[in-house]
Structure 1
Amino acid sequence: MVDTKFTDDLASGAPVPGGGGASAYAGALAAALGSMVANLTIGKPKFADREAELKRALESLDARRNELLALIDADAEAFSKLAACWKMPKATQEERAFRARAEQDALHAACEVPLSIMRVCALVVEADEYLVANSAKLALSDVGASAVLAKAALEAASLNVFINTGLMDEEERALAYEEEARRLIAKTGKAADEVHGAVRDAITRSR
């Protein structure tokens, strides 16, 4: 029986988990698929000369999965702190100033967490780039699925970056967050598409 707690929580009317948590969860699934492929490949005679590299890829993917699962809670915490700022009193000028400062501080964490999700998903795709050339053909579809999920997770997480930078007063820092997000999308998106294309070409029957 599949544990549906996370998806049940996601489907509820509660504000967390939300898009950031879902992005981290999708990224964790991508990492898990990569780990599965590595586990299936390690020990096969055909890949004996690459076993050390495959084990390193597996260790990396297992670590990335754990990081992404931890980021689900980190994202919920970051949003909860931001939402708490919006409930602060604002009747006086002092209260409004305190509320504004607290909100700006919370916005930085609310950007850092989805950026962390993006960074980790980029590492998942890097592992997929290795696996696509170093795994059995029967496992290639799972490598491709991992890359597609990681790219989707990365792009979904970027939306949390952009919605929060839009609320930031510190333009220079906001632009820095956005620039990193765009770099990750461009570089990792291209790499993931190449993995997907290589897999599709390898497993699709010629017509």
Structure 2
Amino acid sequence: MLVKMTLEEFGLVLGSDAPAPGGGSVAALSGALGAELVAMVCRLSIGKKDLEAFTDEIKSALPKADGLAAGLLRRVDLDTEAFNSVMAAFKLPKGTDDEKQKRAAAIQQGYKEAVQSPLSIARECITVLNLSQSLLGKTNPNALSDLGVAAQQAYAGLEGAIMNVKINLPSIKDEQFKTAITGELAQLLSDGREAKEHVYDYVCGKL
């Protein structure tokens, strides 16, 4: 499992000529790091007297951040498996017309499944971004830059995941499916950019 590797080991396999892990796994890791930073900021804020008014909100955010971190970390490995269904479909027999039709249908289904992993990463990264934004002005000021970095990491994960969705969309022939996915990606990117810039502007304004 990738997540059981040391940072050095992960970096070596990432930089090798192996096709996986790749950008999708890195996007998931980036989002996970952002979520972990949010969790850290929450833990550094709970119990502070001057933040008592926000204690309930911070305590509510903490398990959400922990859950997002765990989920995105799992996706570091899951994303390497996302393209397996496509590869398996390409290996199906194509000797007869019936086999060709079944193979083509399996390939199309495989590509649809392949976009689901990075799409899920993107959705979870936007949730990390929104969580970061919701905590502005409510957490330990000494960890304000950490909250800013959390948003930057989550946004990098969001953009990376979106690129990994987009690279597979041209291979899908279902135009209705492609239109729906493209529309969601545009909204995720717009919302994510707005949240990231809001956090960045707030943090830099306070530093």
Larger mean CA deviation between 107-116 and 91-100 belongs to: 91-100
Cα shift readout 1:137-194 (whole Å, capped 9, x = no counterpart):
2211111101011111101100111111111010110111111011000011111111
1:182 is the counterpart of 2:191:
no
Distance 2:16 2:199 in 1: 35
Once the 2 structures are TM-superposed, how far is the Cα of residue 113 of structure 1 from its aligned partner?
1.2
| Structure 1 unpaired stretches of 5+ | none
1:18 is the counterpart of 2:22:
yes
Runs of at least 4 residues of structure 1 off by over 4 A? none
Cα shift readout 1:188-207 (whole Å, capped 9, x = no counterpart):
1111111011101110xxxx
Match of 2:165 among 161, 170, 185: 161
Three-state SS of the structure 1 residue aligned to 2:155 is helix
The answer for the alignment partner of 2:127 in structure 1 is 123
- Which letter does structure 2 place at the counterpart of 1:198? Y
Once the 2 structures are TM-superposed, how far is the Cα of residue 136 of structure 1 from its aligned partner?
2.1
Cα shift readout 1:109-139 (whole Å, capped 9, x = no counterpart):
1111111111111110111112222112221
Distance 2:26 2:92 in 1: 28
Distance 2:34 2:46 in 1: 19
Distance 1:11 1:97 in 2: 38
| Structure 2 unpaired stretches of 5+ | 1-5
Match of 1:72 among 70, 76, 79: 76
Q: Normalization by structure 2: what TM-score? A: 0.91
Once the 2 structures are TM-superposed, how far is the Cα of residue 14 of structure 1 from its aligned partner?
1.9
Match of 1:96 among 73, 78, 100: 100
Distance 1:74 1:110 in 2: 11
Could you tell me the percent identity over the aligned residues? 37
- Which letter does structure 1 place at the counterpart of 2:166? F
Once the 2 structures are TM-superposed, how far is the Cα of residue 9 of structure 1 from its aligned partner?
2.6
Q: Normalization by structure 1: what TM-score? A: 0.91
1:55 is the counterpart of 2:59:
yes
Q: Contact conserved, 2:85 with 2:113, CA < 8 A, in 1?
A: no
Aligned residues: 203
Once the 2 structures are TM-superposed, how far is the Cα of residue 92 of structure 1 from its aligned partner?
4.2
Once the 2 structures are TM-superposed, how far is the Cα of residue 91 of structure 1 from its aligned partner?
4.5
